[in-house]
Amino acid sequence: MTGDALRRVGCAGLVGAAATAVVAVAQVAALQGQPGDDFTAYLPPGDGKALVTQQCTSCHDLQGVVRLRAVAAEWETLVLDMGARGAPIMLDDVDPLVKYLSTAFGPNAPPFTDANAATNADLTRLPGVTPQAAGRLIAARSAGPLTSVEQVRTALGLDASAFEKIKYYLYVKPVEPAGNQ
Amino acid sequence: MQELVRDLVQRNLSRRGFLSGMLAAGYSAAAARSALASVSPFVQDSPPGESLTRSMTGTGGELLAEQLIETGARYFFVSNASGMGPLCDALVTRPQIQLIQATHEGQVVAIADGYAKASGTIGFGMYSRVGLPHSSANMYNSMKDRTSVVLLSDHADTNSEGRDGHEDIDDWLEPVKQYTKWRWIAHQSERIPEWVRQACKVSTVMPGGPCYVRIPRDLMYRDNVTATIFKGEAFRIPMEVRPDVDAIEQAARVIWESSSPLLLVGPEVSQCHGRADVVRLAELLGIPAVQHRSYYADFPTSHPLHVGELGGGRLFPEKYDCLINFGARPGRAPSGTSYIHASIEPLAIGRNTPLSVGLLGDLGQIARDLVEAIKSLAPAGKLRAVAAQRLALATAYTTKMRESRVGMARRSSGSPVPWQRLVVELNDQLDRDAVIVEEVGTEAKVLNFFDFADDAKLKIGRTEGRSLGWGTGAAAGVQLALPNRQVVNLQGDGGFLFGQTDSLWTHSRYDLPIMTVIFNNQSYEEVRWNIMGRDGASGEAGRDYISYLGDPDVDFTKLAAAYNIDGAVVEHSDDLGPAIERGIKIMRNGRPFMLDVRTLNTGAGAKVTWYPKFSLAQTRERTA
């Protein structure tokens, strides 16, 4: 894993926190995760998705995973490291996991983008999002934070097919339950 | 012969004296022993207690030495202190005690702690009166682990103490109240042995812990002091406390009636020497076992029922309805789960979890009693059937999990070296019964790869207290306790630099053939994760404020060389095997070895080399 790779996504390696989570699940869940959000919704479809869901989330949420961009060799290093630390990864699962992760979250994958914080420039890094569409989304935020993926799609003005390509990379913070503010 | 018999019967002659007299009188050794056996029934028993004590007169230092000898102490771990003069004088005619010196008080306690953990007996240490603050970090570690350590210091003279004077403060004991099970300042020379005995007793009565006694220097130098010295057996207390019978029956029923029990093991299992008994309990019903944080491996790591660590990413068992805590720190049982907590420590039982049953007692004894109670609840055939079914499921999981873990570790290669590859290479080459003293991050790093069991490797460390700067000294104590076993000291570069590198001096001086292995990733890795892995500003900015260790790039073999210790730097996984082999050869020749392995940094901020640089030299206005 390179520092450059970590910095590219503007998130200093939440994977590290994921590794910590292997040994201190609850602690890191408290540190990293939004209430009720394990970030599995941000996994694009693919053959290894079920493995990631089952094996990675047995120790930690997936925020670090979905925000990281790395090449296959870097993902393999991480997967092997996690397995050594106690993640329930079987040897047969390593290659499918690495293939999925390096495809879904490789260097060329769209950056993980917070729909409520992104700038126009951030948003136009997502495939199919024009400066005009980004402007509409930013304008929509002026009425309050966007709370659902559907609100984001509507604001961007994308059809379902176009939105499907980017929806896994758009983060919408869940609404916290009343009394938990 | 008649006179000899008369003297023996009247207790004017010891049994040994009788045998010597018979031999001197021309009888054969066999005849002498036969005569002694015939006469023995008529020898009056000694009055209660008489043979357990003796009176002696000497200096306070001599009284201290005599009482220490009677405890069976072989080693006394010390650092330099003027106040130890009276003890040094006493040792001139008392070669029974071997002094082992450390360079400072913190490592004295670490050595004593390691010795106690490995030997199951008291680790004794002594250091300067002003060394107490320095010693307190490892004293805290010992307290957290309930280790039987007895520590002594000198103290200000009785005519000057309590004035906040030179090398003195008003209350020396207050700062270490939380780090000691018992503490005292002696004020009478003739009672020095009494306080030593009390410290020994309190430190060994479970739950154990460090005890600390200060003795004013003038009391140790005082001469012609008469005191009573107790033999060691006179203040040893058997600790096989039996649990409540009704509670055992209740617990047995809860366990038997649960559909998926899970055993949680902690350090008290090993402290009670109860590992084999707990394994028998697990095997009786095929109960999977998970390891809680512990400075021992409390369940054999290669046993098919050992399913991993608490909190790790276990997939087995998916659910459990009964958690049986055997000697772990207070655990948490999910809602709706029965919770049985067995402990030798009353205050720990049920501390933060509602109890189904609490069991107070020796953990080996509790396990044995539970086995018998469960056997009485069902026919043997039914017990075997339940156990076989659960064992088969657990075996399928643990076998595949272990093969995968080792397979993945072997697949990990390159430069810098993946840490897991280093561990499997060590496991390949070390003796089957090597002792692993570890202070490297989390226990999973060693539990997942080494075969720990009563007849295999022994794990000691890391401490529950986690105060770094323990392992290198502790390894010295472990090696002294177990002189015929390989001892390996596993250290991260950050932890090793926590004031313990100087214990290499002790390793070298006493020919302690310990291999120190540095997982040198140039970082305090887990701290970096916890800081830079958050959504915080330092992580976002790629700024590693306190965890980067690459500047200066420390070559630990050069550090070891200063202590006349050989070593090797390994930068690629392909070079691990030959380097470890060379180290083992040097250890077999009776010398320590340093293995500095440049390990791969992973996770948050792994490649960040930024740190808040500062050069005083560049700020100086006067350079000439």
- The CATH number that applies at residue A122 is 1.10.150
pLDDT at A176: 63
Q: What is the ipTM of this complex?
A: 0.82
Per the structure, the count of domains in chain A is 2
Contact A26/B603, CB-based, under 8 Å? no
Same domain, A98 and A120: no
Task: List the structure tokens of B593.
Answer: 């070895």
What pLDDT shows up at residue B598? 98
Q: Cβ separation of A77 and B608 shorter than 8 Å? A: no
Please tell me whether residues A121 and A54 are part of one structural domain. Answer: no
Note the pLDDT of residue A1. 31
- Measured distance CA(B518)–CA(B488) in Å, rounded: 11
* Domain parsing of chain B, residue ranges: 2-43, 52-235, 263-402, 412-598
E strand segments, B96-197: 98-101, 123-127, 149-155, 182-185
d(CA B438, CA B24): 57
In this structure, the answer to whether residues A79 and A40 fall within a common structural domain is yes
> Which of B315, B401, B539 is opposite residue A12, by nearest beta carbon?
B539
pLDDT at position B50, please? 62
My answer on whether A129 and A160 are in the same domain is yes
Tell me the C-alpha distance between B193 and B191, whole Å.
5
For the domain spanning B412-598, the CATH number is 3.40.50.970
For residue A179, tell me if it sits in a domain: no
Optimal mutation site among B602, B608, B609, B611, interface A, most CBs of chain A within 10 A: B602
Q: Report yes or no on A176 lying in a domain.
A: no
Which among A75, A104, A133 is the end of a domain? A104
How many Å apart are CA B281 and CA B364, to the nearest integer?
10
Asked if residue A117 and residue A95 are part of one domain, the reply reads: no
From A12, which residue of chain B is nearest by alpha-carbon distance? B539
- Tell whether A100 and A119 lie within a shared domain: no
Contact list in A for residue B526 (CB cut-off 8 A) is 20
Residue A180 included in any domain: no
Q: Do domains B52-235 and B412-598 have the same CATH topology?
A: yes
**Do the beta carbons of residue B125 and residue B112 sit within 8 Å?**
yes
pLDDT for the residue numbered B32: 76
What is the C-alpha separation between B513 and B593, in angstroms, rounded? Answer: 7
In chain A, which residue's Cα lies nearest the Cα of B422?
A84
Look at residues A80, A104, A128 and tell me which one is the last residue of a structural domain: A104
**CA distances to A95, B573, B578, B582 from B410, in Å:** 15, 10, 16, 21
pLDDT at A11: 31
Could A19 and B528 be called an inter-chain contact, meaning their C-beta atoms sit closer than 8 Å? Answer: no
Sorted by sequence, the CB contacts under 8 Å of residue A178 that are 6+ apart come out as none
Burial B37-64 (b: 16+ CB within 10 A, else e): eebeeebeeeeeeeebeeeeebbbbbbb
Nearest CA to B232 out of B213, B204, B270, B209 is that of B204
Measured between beta carbons, which residues in chain A are less than 8 angstroms from residue B309? 23, 86
Same domain? For A91 and A25 the reply is yes
- Are residues A51 and A129 both part of a single domain? no
Would you call B539 an interface residue with chain A, using a CB distance cutoff of 8 Å? Answer: yes
Superfamily of domain B52-235: Thiamin diphosphate (ThDP)-binding fold, Pyr/PP domains (3.40.50.970)
Containing structural domain, residue A64:
3-104
Contacts of B420 in chain A (CB under 8 A): 80-81, 84
The list of chain B residues with pLDDT below 70 reads 10-12, 16, 20, 29, 41-50, 311-314, 331
Distance CA B86, CA B384 (A): 64
Rounded to a whole number, what is the distance in Å from the CA of B588 to chain A's nearest CA?
30
- Cα separation, A16 vs B601, whole angstroms: 10
A7 and A61 in one domain? yes
Choosing from A67, A86, A104, the residue where a domain stops is A104
List, for residues A128-153, the tens digit of each pLDDT value: 999 999 999 999 999 899 998 899 99
Contact A58 B445 (CB under 8 A): no
DSSP string, B366-409: HHHHHHHHHHTTS-HHHHHHHHHHHHHHHHHHHHHHHHHHHHHH
Residue A61 lies in a domain: yes
Q: Does B263-402 carry CATH code 3.40.640.10?
A: no
**Domain presence at residue A160:** yes
- Same-domain check for residues A35 and A78: yes
Strands (E), B378-529: 435-439, 458-460, 487-492, 514-520
Is the same domain home to A66 and A88? Answer: yes
Cα distance from A60 to chain B (closest Cα, Å)? 9
Give me the residues of chain A with pLDDT under 50, please. Answer: 1-35, 180-181
Asked whether residue A177 is assigned to any structural domain, the reply reads no
User: Chain A interface residues facing chain B, Cβ-Cβ under 8 Å?
Assistant: 1-4, 6-7, 10-20, 22-26, 31-32, 54-55, 58-59, 64, 77-81, 83-92, 94
